[in-house]
Structure 1
């Protein structure tokens, strides 16, 4: 596998620093754009101390199947200039669309054999890309099928239920506080606001809350693989059924036993407190095999 630097020029001229991982052997190759989750995420899928480290193992697995991978640093992260807190949800999609254009036009890539892989927030942008562009394949890792605000509230309740009993006793006052924060965010007009003195990516929140992925799912005509872990506490695994129902022609869905939102398996009781331990483990090997094999069957034809 050969890693090469590749800059994606966004619609506003911002240079998004990325890496194009090419398989060994002569091209052009089929390719995918890898879209990571939310926050200050770099091309590897890492956000500070939260090192998901999805980029390298997935690119390696895909290269072994003859598939190239493009991933890039979000605005204000790694080698990309800007401020990630000022980037909206819609802006993140527009950057993803720019990355898709760049990889499709690359001389080492077969323009007619391009797909997208998205995890968490990235899965939501993958849905929109697939609804608006002619893609050969779409992989949704931990994507939801509902209104953004509903998904965020499900996530909060799911994470809260795994907290220690003394904290759970505060459910009502903490829930009221959360509702006040959401109400305040909805009335903001700036890209960034402060909540209790801390900066918050308000524009991203406003746009995310009103985003309904069901509209995009119903407009996808490319083959879809949707995978969510049985132990995902950030996305409801039951949404896989809705994804399969909404995508025209259906979707191949996998609710993987033991798999978490971090794309690692957890044999024990899984809570948010398990994250630090799980991030010391590699990305689930069976997941990489599933995704790379599925994409190879659809992109290499």
Structure 2
């Protein structure tokens, strides 16, 4: 059944309180490496410290120019993903957050980044979790944010046995989103050029970045909507009405509902693309994480 939810998440908060009172407390963290094409993907595996059995696990995929801990949250010592991982652990879930190759501590060069490469990293991480005895490899869910949401949609299409998928403001139309972000002229020039030619541009927030033509040449051919049409499992998409990065919302989120078959939910909040992280943790703590946990609990 297709539905849109927006407010009244007291039931989700109640679920969190019940889980926390059940005895899940501190988490154990360890840095792990996953081999992909002769290189290493580095990640942080976080497990509930006092779980009586291997816990279900959530693979967390970061966004464009991000890293596995993700964006710093104002007035905290957390990144968006470190804070989310800690709350997952408190509620009985393990998590693995990875740096895609070329990002963070993983091998590779940023300028060689492509969607295909990140999808391969995500699929390798899913397969690694299946074999890891510290977690319940039969209960894997995937959480992807922004570009990580596009990657997640393709990864679960390749691994349709994934228990549940949660996409936070996923890039649904890469050509449109990155033409706005990187400049339409640059995008068209790079698509027409050599895949190995580097292109340096200044991002809207003032930072320069360099990507080879191969990144741009995948923009017209990768589609989150096409990917989720091949994923039969439970799909939740969370978007913000003030998102100017992946826009327009909620239409950009609704398209995934239109192409996905199976249990699904589109959740719409009054927030921006980064869940108001520049203002503090309130949106994360009161909306994003409780809603995500509710979906995970319903689809364990």
**TM-score > 0.5 by shorter chain:** yes
1:216-236 Cα deviation digits (max 9, x unpaired): 121110101100011111112
Contact kept? 1:192, 1:199, Cα under 8 Å = no
Shift of 1:239: 1.9
> What does 1:227-242 align with in structure 2 at a 5 Å threshold?
227-236=238-247, 237=249, 238-242=251-255
2:193 pairs with one of 188, 192, 204: 188
Aligned residues: 258
Aligned to 2:175: 149
Aligned partner of 1:200 in structure 2 is 210
State how far apart, in whole Å, the 1-side matches of 2:152 and 2:216 are. Answer: 19
Of residues 199-208 and 113-122 in structure 1, the stretch that sits farther from structure 2 once superposed is 199-208
Hey, what does 1:263 align to over in structure 2?
275
User: Which residue in the other structure is 1:254 paired with?
Assistant: 267
Give me the whole-angstrom Cα distance separating, in 1, the residues matched to 2:42 and 2:191. 32
Between stretches 21-30 and 131-140, larger displacement belongs to: 21-30
* RMSD after superposition: 2.4
Q: Tell me the distance in 2 between the aligned counterparts of 1:230 and 1:199.
A: 28
> Which residue does the alignment assign to 1:172?
none
User: Aligned equivalents of 1:66 and 1:192: distance in 2?
Assistant: 46
Does the aligned pair in 2 maintain the 1:62–1:69 contact within 8 Å? yes
1:64-87 deviations in Å (ceiling 9; x for gaps): 221110012232443323211112
Once the two structures are superposed, the pairs formed by residues 9-20 of structure 1 within 5 Å of their partners are 9-10=35-36, 12-20=37-45
- Checking the alignment, whether the CA contact within 8 Å between 1:22 and 1:68 is kept in structure 2 is yes
Match 2:156 to one of 130, 136, 151: 130
Distance 1:83 1:179, change over 3 A: same
Contact kept? 1:21, 1:70, Cα under 8 Å: yes
1:150-229 counterparts in 2 under 5 A?
A: 150-153=176-179, 155-156=180-181, 178-195=183-200, 200-202=210-212, 203-229=214-240
What corresponds to 1:75 in structure 2? 101
| Consecutive unaligned residues in structure 2, runs of 5 or more | 1-26, 203-207
Alignment TM-score, normalising by the size of structure 2: 0.79
SS class of match (1:85): helix
Provide closer, same or farther for how the CA distance between residues 131 and 81 of structure 1 changes in structure 2, counting only shifts above 3 A: closer
Unaligned runs of 5+ in 1: 157-176, 265-277
Aligned to 1:214, the other structure's residue is in SS state helix
Q: Normalised by the size of structure 1, how large is the TM-score? A: 0.78
Moved more, 75-84 or 216-225: 75-84
Q: CA offset at residue 250 of structure 1?
A: 4.9
Superposition map of 1:26-105 within 5 A: 26-39=52-65, 41-46=66-71, 53-105=79-131
